[in-house]
Chain A
Amino acid sequence: MSEVFKILVTGPFAAGKTSLIQSVSQTKVVSTDVATSGDESGVKSHTTVAMDFGTYQLDGDDTRLLLFGTPGQARFRFMTNILKGDVDVVTFVVDAEATDTHAAAGVELRALLRDLRVPAVIAVNRCDDEIVAQRLARSLGSLDGESVVPCQLIDPDSGREVVVEVLLTLLASMESTTAEVA
């Protein structure tokens, strides 16, 4: 592989999208974090208002991932619409413990994938159990073959596991495309 791929990192408010990009990016993350106010300040102190941007490059390989993170709140949905063009893989981050976000997350995930028609990696944050992660992903409407990764995104190693899954998903997608052409 020797290409640049665009990865959309999206999901509900406070799911761990910014943490993922900050933990894996090899370049300084472009961040638009600001202090939260109102009810949201009770959930976390800062939130993304426009986008996060980071990059990841494989050692000894020209393959480069451009990671575009969206805000999570519905009022910033226009940013997702701006950022989702020409995406190669959607990485959908969901907080396993934030059960109140799961229903809306499922609706958003399916709508996004219906729209984009690209592979997805579902990163189930604050979860160590593969079976629990798979069950949650299915409840969100995850389809067979979509990658599901339990992770702890406060841990950079865990973030890298998500990136590895993104790379594997890209590889599988390219092989599938090549097979279709052949």
Chain B
Amino acid sequence: MEMANDVVPAPPTPTETLVPSRPSTFTAPAALVTGPLAPPTATRALANVLDELIDDVAEARAALLVSVDGFSIARNTSTSDEPAHSAMLAAAVGLGHQLAAMGGGDTLRQLVIEHDAGLIVVWPIGTSRVLAVLTSAQVEQRRLRAFVIDNVRDLVGAV
């Protein structure tokens, strides 16, 4: 697990985790994924944002939104629901916060797992959610991060 604050530019504000800064703009329903935090309509809307992410960011393959305590909230349409994946992401972010402290930081901004087939980029979203995007190694991380920042209000969710 690599602490990677320097992989992509820091967000435009000095906030620790990504927090909403603009109103919601998405409406169309997409894949239905049940989770403990979001009612079905909200989950559909979240899945729609994740589908949009996969469509808009070249080399992004899958996107998952999970709760900080390890439950699936939403995923893009073509990604299957693996409960262990949600738990692993929550555990990684839990440790990431401690590793950030070990490094002298106050706040975890991003984790990047680099492996032989690509990247897994993980962000805390607000205080209760975690977003993970699976990509190839060629993904334009600046573009990916910009999409997440643009959509963070929707990803935080108002449920």
| Chain A interface residues (CB < 8 Å from chain B) | 30-32, 34-40, 47-51, 71, 73, 75-76, 78-79
Asked, given contacts A37-B71, A47-B69, A49-B70, whether A32 binds B91 with beta carbons under 8 Å apart, the answer is yes
Q: Is the CB of A75 within 8 A of B84?
A: yes
Q: Is the CB of B69 within 8 A of A51?
A: no
Is B39's CB within 8 Å of the partner chain A? no
A22 to B128, CA, bound (A): 24
Give the residue among B70, B71, B84 with the most A Cβ atoms within 10 A. B70
A30 to B92, CA, bound (A): 14
Chain A contacts for B67, CB-based, 8 A: 37-38
| Chain B interface residues (CB < 8 Å from chain A) | 36-37, 67-71, 83-84, 86-88, 90-95, 97-98, 127-128
Asked, given contacts A40-B69, A78-B88, whether A35 binds B37 with beta carbons under 8 Å apart, the answer is no
A48 to B90, CA, bound (A): 10
Chain B contacts for A78, CB-based, 8 A: 84, 87-88, 91
Give the residue among B69, B84, B91, B128 with the most A Cβ atoms within 10 A. B69
A8 to B12, CA, bound (A): 43
Chain B contacts for A79, CB-based, 8 A: 91
Chain B nearest CB, measured from A42 CB (Å)? 11
Chain B nearest CB, measured from A174 CB (Å)? 32
Asked, given contacts A75-B87, A78-B87, whether A38 binds B36 with beta carbons under 8 Å apart, the answer is yes
Chain A contacts for B70, CB-based, 8 A: 49, 73, 75-76
Q: Is the CB of A30 within 8 A of B87?
A: no
Chain A nearest CB, measured from B35 CB (Å)? 8
Chain A nearest CB, measured from B123 CB (Å)? 15
Q: Can you report 26 residue pairs joining A to B where beta carbons are below 8 Å apart?
A: A30-B98, A32-B91, A32-B95, A34-B94, A35-B68, A35-B127, A35-B128, A37-B37, A38-B36, A38-B71, A48-B94, A49-B87, A49-B90, A50-B91, A50-B92, A50-B94, A50-B95, A73-B70, A73-B87, A75-B70, A75-B83, A75-B84, A75-B86, A78-B84, A78-B88, A78-B91
A111 to B44, CA, bound (A): 40
Q: Which residue of A lies closest to B67 (CB)?
A: A37
Chain A contacts for B36, CB-based, 8 A: 37-39
Q: A49's contact among B37, B94, B128, by CB below 8 Å, is which?
A: B94
Q: Is the CB of B84 within 8 A of A49?
A: no
Q: Is the CB of B128 within 8 A of A37?
A: yes
Q: Which residue of A lies closest to B72 (CB)?
A: A75
Q: Which residue of B lies closest to A32 (CB)?
A: B94
